[in-house]
Amino acid sequence: MKSLATKVQLTLLFFCAVVFSLQAQGDQEIKLFLNQEKTHWVKGTGLGQIWVRYTDLNPGSTIFSTPKNEVFDVGLRRVRYQVMGQITDQVFVYTQFGINSFGSLSGRKPGLFLHDVTAEYALAPGKLSLGAGLHGWNGTVRYSSSSVGSILGLDLPYIEESTNDLTDQFVRKLGVFAKGQLGKLDYRLSVSNPFPIQTALSPVPTLPENVTQIAYYSLSAPALNYQGYIFWQFLDKESNQLPYMTGTYLGKKRVFNIGGGFSTQDHAVEYREVSSGPVVQQASRQFGFDIFYDVPIDTSKGTAFTAYVAGINYDFGPNYLRASGAMNPANGVNANGSFNGPGNTIPLIGTGKVYYTQMGYLMKKDLLGRLGTLQPYGQFTLSDYERVQVPISTYSIGVNWLQAGHRSKLSLDYQSRPVLREGSGEKLVLDSMNPRKGMLVMQYQFSF
C-alpha cells in the first residue's frame, strides 16, 4: 500500500505544482518528501514559451517553393518538464523532457523527447560529485549550458552553443561528468560521446568534392569530447545542483563571477588542402573566458542590474562557418539566395574569434502596480571569422514585462542580423543590396 500511495503521489505531482505554484511566493517550491527528516525528496517543474513573430526573410527564401519576402507566424519555442530528486543522502537524479521549436512548418503531432537523464553520486557532498547519463555539463563559457527559464534576453545566447544539434542533442551528450565547489571555485569537467552527424534530424553539410581550404564536420566515427569550465565566485555562491546557468536573478542574489573553459574533440572536422587531394582531419578546439555580474541596486525599490561579457576562440578547421536560425519560418531558397540560406538563419559559428555581451536593468518592483515591472535589455555579438572579409555583428534589444518574476513573463524583442554573399575573392562579404535583416518577436513564458 505504501508503494502504491507513493506512485499516486508522484503521478499527481505535476498537477499539484501547476495549481499551487500560482499561489507560491518568492522562491517557494513544491516538493514531495520521501523521508521524515525531509532530506530526501522529489519535485517537478514545467515551462512553456510561445512565440508570435514577424520575420523579414533572407533573400531568396521560399516556403514549399513559394517565394516569400516576409512572414508572420506563431510557434512553441520550448515546452519542458523536469523531474528531479534527492533519492539518498548521496544520490541525486535529474530528468528533463519536452519539445523545441514547434512551428507551422514542423511535422505535426510532435513527440516529447529526452533532454536530460542523469544520476550522480556525491563522494564529498558539495565538493565532488560524479555522474553519468544524457547531460548538459558543458565547457567553454557560462551559457554553453543556459537555464532557459531565467535567461535575460528573449532567447539563449546560442553563439555559445557551438555544436547545437550537430553532434549533440540540444547541447546534451551521453557521457560522464564531475562537478563541485571548492570554496569560491566552482568547476565542471565532462567526457562524452558526441552523436554522429549522420543521425542529426536536419542534414549536416559534409565535404564536397574538389572544395579546398574549407572545413566541414567529419563523417568518421566521432572521438570523445572533453569539456571543462571553472569560475571564481567573488560574492554570493550559485547553486550547481543542475548544469544550467541562471541568466538573471532579478535582484535575489549578489553575483560576480569570472570564469574560463574549453572543449575539444579529436578529428571532428575535415578538409582538403588542394583540389582532389587527400582529406585532412583535425580536432575541433574552443577556449573561452567570461564575466558575469548580477546585483540588486536598491533593495527597497527592487531594482537590479545584470551584465555579462564573453570572448571565445573557435577553431573548427580552415574557414569553417555554419549558419543557423531559431524555429526557421522558411524551408527553401531559390537562385537569389545568400550564404545565410532560408528564413532567419544567421552566419553563426565559425573558425575565429567571437565577442558577446548582454546587459539589462530591472526597474522598480511596483512600476506597473499589481501588474509587475519591466526589464529592458540589450545583446550584441561581434564575430571575426576567417571566412568573412570583415567582422560581422548581430544585436537585439528588448524588454521583459515581469508579471510574476520568471513564472509569468512577456517579452518583446527586435533582432538585427547580417546577410552574407560570396565576394569577388575567397572571402564572404556583406550583401550590398540586403546587408541586414530583422525579426520582431513577442514571447510569453510561463513556468512553475
Could you tell me which of 430, 294, 404, 429 has the C-alpha nearest to residue 26? Answer: 404
Return the number of other C-beta atoms located less than 10 Å from residue 87's C-beta.
Answer: 14
Kindly tell me if the per-residue pLDDT of 22 is higher than 50. no
Q: How would you list the strands of the sheet with 66-67, edge to edge?
A: 66-67, 61-63, 332-333
| pLDDT interval class at 3 (50, 70, 90) | very low
Contacts of 247 (CB under 8 A, 6+ apart): 143, 146, 147, 150, 151, 152, 153, 306
Question: How far apart are alpha carbons 293 and 236 in whole angstroms?
Answer: 11
Q: Which residues pair with 43 in a beta bridge?
A: 84
Q: Give Cα 191 distance to the centre of its chain.
A: 20
Could you tell me which of 173, 182, 363 has the C-alpha nearest to residue 268? Answer: 173
Arithmetic mean of pLDDT, 41-56? 97
Arithmetic mean of pLDDT, 99-121? 93
The predicted pLDDT at position 426 comes to 87
| pLDDT interval class at 425 (50, 70, 90) | confident
pLDDT digits (tens, 9 = 90+) for 196-241: 999 998 899 999 998 999 999 999 999 999 999 999 999 999 999 9
Could you tell me which of 305, 126, 316, 144 has the C-alpha nearest to residue 216? Answer: 316
Arithmetic mean of pLDDT, 66-79? 97
Chain-wide mean pLDDT for the chain? 93
- The HSE-up count of residue 353 (CA atoms within 13 Å, CB side) is 6
- The HSE-up count of residue 115 (CA atoms within 13 Å, CB side) is 25
Radius of gyration of the chain measured on its C-alpha atoms = 22
Kindly tell me if the per-residue pLDDT of 27 is higher than 60. no
Kindly tell me if the per-residue pLDDT of 12 is higher than 60. no
Could you tell me which of 216, 215, 175 has the C-alpha nearest to residue 195? Answer: 175
What dihedral angle (degrees, nearest 10) is formed by the CA atoms of 242, 248, 251, 252? Answer: -10
Kindly tell me if the per-residue pLDDT of 8 is higher than 90. no
pLDDT digits (tens, 9 = 90+) for 169-195: 999 999 999 999 999 999 999 999 999
pLDDT digits (tens, 9 = 90+) for 368-424: 999 999 999 999 999 999 999 999 999 999 999 999 999 999 999 999 999 999 988
Question: How far apart are alpha carbons 336 and 61 in whole angstroms?
Answer: 8
Question: How far apart are alpha carbons 32 and 309 in whole angstroms?
Answer: 39
The predicted pLDDT at position 110 comes to 87
Kindly tell me if the per-residue pLDDT of 121 is higher than 70. yes
Contacts of 24 (CB under 8 A, 6+ apart): 30
Question: How far apart are alpha carbons 180 and 167 in whole angstroms?
Answer: 26
pTM across the whole model: 0.91
The predicted pLDDT at position 28 comes to 60
The full set of domain ranges for the chain reads: 28-447
The predicted pLDDT at position 111 comes to 87
Kindly tell me if the per-residue pLDDT of 11 is higher than 50. no
- Ordered DSSP codes for 66-130: EE-SEEEEEEEEEEEEEEEEE-SSSEEEEEEEEEEEE-TTSPSSPPPEEEEEEEEEEEETTTEEE
Q: Which segment of 24-33, 175-184, 285-294, 322-331 scores lowest on mean pLDDT? A: 24-33
Kindly tell me if the per-residue pLDDT of 25 is higher than 80. no
Are the CB atoms for 344 and 328 separated by under 8 Å? yes
pLDDT digits (tens, 9 = 90+) for 122-174: 999 999 999 999 999 999 999 999 999 999 999 999 999 999 999 999 999 99
Are the CB atoms for 178 and 130 separated by under 8 Å? yes
The predicted pLDDT at position 6 comes to 42
CATH architecture of 28-447: Beta Barrel (2.40)
Question: How far apart are alpha carbons 291 and 268 in whole angstroms?
Answer: 29
Kindly tell me if the per-residue pLDDT of 84 is higher than 60. yes
No. of helices (H) and no. of strands (E), the chain:
1, 25
Does residue 19 sit in helix, strand or coil? helix
The predicted pLDDT at position 98 comes to 96
Could you tell me if residue 276 is left (phi over 0), alpha (psi between -120 and 50 degrees) or otherwise beta? left
Question: How far apart are alpha carbons 172 and 194 in whole angstroms?
Answer: 9
In 278-319 the beta strands, taken as DSSP E runs, fall at 279-298, 303-315
Could you tell me which of 91, 65, 16 has the C-alpha nearest to residue 334? Answer: 65
The predicted pLDDT at position 287 comes to 98
Element (H, E) at 21: helix 2-21
Contacts of 439 (CB under 8 A, 6+ apart): 53, 54, 55, 56, 344, 414, 415, 417
Q: Which three cell numbers stand for residue 365?
A: 518592483
Question: How far apart are alpha carbons 260 and 291 in whole angstroms?
Answer: 9
